[in-house]
Amino acid sequence: MRFLLATLSCAAAIALSFPARAAAPPVPGTRSLGMAGSLRGAATGDSALTLNPSGMSLMRAYVIEAAYAHDSAGSATANLGRLSIVDSTSGFNLAGGIYYQYLAQDLAPGLDRSGHEGGVALSLPLGEHVFIGGMAKYLRLKTTGPAPGMAKGFTFDAGITLKPVGAVTIGVVGQNLADLHTDRAPRTLGGGIAVGATADFLLAFDAVYDFTTKRDLGSSGKVWNFMGGAEYLFAKRFALRAGGGRRGITEAGYLSAGASYVAQVGAVDFGFQQDLGGTAKETFIGASARLFLPAPE
């Protein structure tokens, strides 16, 4: 009942719109944004819904998150609004998540794209060292202007997270495994390693191979994305993040930064990414608010 009520309240609150991205793959969430898009090896909360669903079972938490992101690259801009719920407070660490997001995008003068995306995810532990998870999602995007079109359909993600030793976690995930032929849902295979997932200091490094974006743009070649970042939590209240990486499509390097204020009842997060090169330097700005619900006794 609590999950249902939270879901309904999120759906009502989603009257706020939210952007996505102009030229690159979807925004990974505010916390990951500040770490250059990494965290597939330690994807908890909403990060699990954007990066690796198996990470929901890494820790017990019940979190409702509302987020906004803005992306600009040259004359193209995008705005994304997102609401999500992740609950991993069951006795067996069986976790569930649900999200909805709305995209409004100006691709070029007179060429616009907008639409909806939603999904549900589950994850469960197989002992203390292996966690598996999957997510099904539906996407519906409409393009208007000189080149109108529609992209819609179901796709899914599947991932695994390993805790081989101590504070080290490793994640592997396939995303958008049913090809929808849109840059908003590229078919990818990614992996990440994190050190300190449940500690005050976290280091993460990810690599992602994109199978479809260059094909859909009418070109060929391998597309590897590399990213890494760090997070430090001061006095259990203030978190600072920084990172950097390389985008495979544009071959541009970028830097990122982020910060959070964490209280007992919730947190406020900010994230930022800026390209260092390329003809149309891409800029991402994200903000989110998280509400922590108490776990049942």
CATH number at residue 235: 2.40.160.60
Q: How many CA atoms lie within 13 A of 98 on its CB side?
A: 9
CA angle 137, 14, 66 (to 5 degrees): 80
Domain membership of residue 190 (yes or no) is: yes
Domain membership of residue 136 (yes or no) is: yes
Domain membership of residue 226 (yes or no) is: yes
| DSSP code string of 198-214 | TSSEEEEEEEEEESSHH
Q: Could you tell me where the beta strands, DSSP code E, fall in 95-221?
A: 95-108, 111-125, 130-144, 149-165, 168-175, 188-195, 201-210
Q: Which of 118, 157, 110 is nearest to 140 (CA)?
A: 118
Domain membership of residue 297 (yes or no) is: no
CA angle 137, 120, 131 (to 5 degrees): 110
What's residue 191's pLDDT? 97
| DSSP code string of 279-295 | SS-EEEEEEEEEEEPPP
Domain count of the fold of the chain: 1
Tokens of 256: 């990122």
Domain membership of residue 288 (yes or no) is: yes
What's residue 107's pLDDT? 86
- pLDDT string in tens for the chain (297-residue length): 343 334 334 433 332 333 333 444 567 789 999 999 999 999 999 999 999 999 999 988 999 999 999 999 888 999 999 999 999 998 777 999 999 999 999 988 889 999 999 999 999 999 999 999 999 999 999 999 888 889 999 999 999 999 999 899 999 999 999 999 998 999 999 999 999 877 799 999 999 999 998 887 777 778 999 999 999 999 889 999 999 999 988 889 999 999 999 999 999 999 999 999 878 889 999 999 999 998 765
CA-based R_g, the chain, Å: 18
CA angle 206, 289, 100 (to 5 degrees): 75
Domain containing 17 equals 2-292
